[in-house]
Amino acid sequence: MIVLVSPGQGAQKPGFLSPWLELPGVAERLAELSDAAGTDLVEHGTRSDAETIRDTAIAQPLLVAAGIVAGEALADGRSDVADVMAGHSVGEVTTTALAGVLSPVDAMRLVAVRATAMAKAAAAEPTSMAAVVGGDRAEVLAAIARHGLAPANINSAGQVVAAGAADAIAALREDAPAKARVIPLQVAGAFHTSYMDPARRTLEEFAPGLDVADPTVPLVSNAGGRVVTSGKEYLDLLVAQVSSPVDWAACMATFADRGVTGMIELAPAGTLTGLAKREMAGIELVSVNTPADLEAARALLGTTADGQEN
């Protein structure tokens, strides 16, 4: 059983879309997705610097577009490219397009609204995030709560991302849990916490206007690793997730429970396969960062380059 996963914000790198533009039809596809998102994805994916693409309003559409392009290249016209799919944070929007819950154009419209609303909410007051690596999980969560922070991302057994007021993040750094490191993240604000409630409300108003279908494969939600087969339910959970924790550790537990034997991470890949390498010993992992990686991904899926079964 193979899971196809899409990374979240922070995975983007300058120039990472350049190799994909060498594939036939990708430039035209990105132009279409750029129009839907209201931003020049080719410019930001090939020439913009790291500081520019760190901007939430740019980073999120860029990541979703990259995942759509890589996923479509991998699928090569098939609708059942994997047995199950999941995305981390904004990667869940990528998954809506690849699993047929939304059209790619509507997925880009959604992520444009999401990104703009989250950037606006983040600018309302000084907030931040920090990864807490190592330590005892209960002690880490207790320390986060003690400083009035929230566990915005539960990424693995050894990594929890704390989020909240910037001064509280600074205090947590000075009061790190035993055997843990607190690493500040270069983000615009406290995503996946109550600070994002205004963004969630904006999405709640926008989402009902989208044409939603049930997914072609089961989806694993960031909301506790729940398996979802209803497109409407998945979209509702995705909207709520803007101001709720991302529990990727629970997603990986669900993958294990369902007997996942391999994971393919779409561009810009490496973050989620890295977590799986530490948490899901024994499964096969493929990171698809360039078209050259598609052969290894297809080999894992057991298909040839023309989409036929081996």
pLDDT tens track for 133-144: 999 999 999 999
* Same domain assignment for residues 221 and 167: no
Residue 63 lies in a domain: yes
* Same domain assignment for residues 27 and 168: no
Residues in the chain: 310
| CATH number, domain containing residue 267 | 3.40.366.10
* Same domain assignment for residues 152 and 283: no
Give the pLDDT of residue 73: 97
Give the pLDDT of residue 303: 56
Q: Which of 184, 205, 220 is the last residue of a domain?
A: 184
* Same domain assignment for residues 73 and 179: no
- pLDDT tens digits, one per residue of 55-110: 999 999 999 999 999 999 999 887 778 999 999 999 999 999 999 999 999 999 99
6, 89, 221, 243: the active-site residue: 89
Residue 308 lies in a domain: no
The total number of structural domains that make up the chain: 2
243 belongs to the catalytic site = no
Residue at 60: amino acid letter:
Q
pLDDT above 90: residue 43: yes
Domain range for 297 is 2-122+193-301
* Same domain assignment for residues 37 and 76: yes
* Same domain assignment for residues 29 and 114: yes
192, 243, 244, 287: the active-site residue: 192
Residue 96 lies in a domain: yes
pLDDT above 60: residue 49: yes
* Same domain assignment for residues 153 and 62: no
Residue 240 lies in a domain: yes
Q: Which of 184, 204, 222 is the last residue of a domain?
A: 184
89 belongs to the catalytic site = yes
